[in-house]
């Protein structure tokens, strides 16, 4: 009988842990932030590196074709098209980025870049926007563009 109770307690603990993990995913989305998605496309040459993300969703907002470019001269640019499916006061998409080496060492942070205030509609209007930044050019060769993390909220 004791081993059956112990087995039942273990099964209940496993189910409870699984339910807690599942409940945590919607909570992160409801908080308005994305997990740190990896770029869908990467381009590298001697003068510049770029990363492009597919569609990302945060709350009622969507980002399409977000692209970050870093250049050997220490300049960088961010561009994206965003939209919102529902807003009462105009939504704003916020993006920032962390750049890492192949070994996982964080080199620098860029942003926060903010979209224009977005209104909804049927279909929702699309907002193209850009941001410019600078960084230490000595860090260019160390950037592993595959490891670039985009942090977003809306």
- State CA 110 to chain mean position distance: 13
Going by DSSP bridges, is the β-strand pair 75-84/127-134 parallel, antiparallel, or unpaired? antiparallel
- Asked if 88 and 75 count as a contact pair (C-beta separation under 8 A), the reply is no
CATH topology of domain 41-153: Immunoglobulin-like (2.60.40)
Sorted by where each begins, the domain ranges of the chain are 1-31, 41-153
Enter the pTM of the model: 0.73
The first and second tokens of residue 53, run together, are 């993300």
pLDDT in tens, 95-131: 999 999 999 999 999 999 999 999 999 999 999 999 9
Q: What is the pLDDT confidence band of residue 89, given thresholds at 50, 70 and 90?
A: confident
């Amino acid at each position: 009988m004791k081993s059956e109770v112990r087995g039942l307690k273990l099964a209940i603990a496993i189910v409870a842990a699984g339910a807690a993990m599942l409940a945590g995913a919607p909570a992160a989305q409801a908080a308005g932030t994305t997990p740190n998605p990896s770029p869908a496309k990467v381009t590298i040459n001697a003068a510049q590196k770029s990363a492009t993300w597919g569609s990302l969703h945060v709350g009622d907002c969507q980002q399409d074709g977000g692209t970050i470019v870093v250049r050997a001269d220490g300049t960088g640019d961010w561009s994206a098209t965003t939209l919102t499916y529902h807003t009462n006061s105009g939504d704003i998409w916020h993006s920032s980025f962390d750049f890492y080496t192949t070994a996982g060492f964080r080199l620098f942070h860029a942003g926060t870049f903010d979209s224009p205030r977005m209104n909804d509609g049927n279909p929702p209007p699309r907002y193209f926007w850009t941001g410019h930044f600078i960084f230490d050019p000595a860090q260019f060769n160390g950037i592993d563009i595959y490891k670039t993390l985009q942090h977003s909220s809306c």
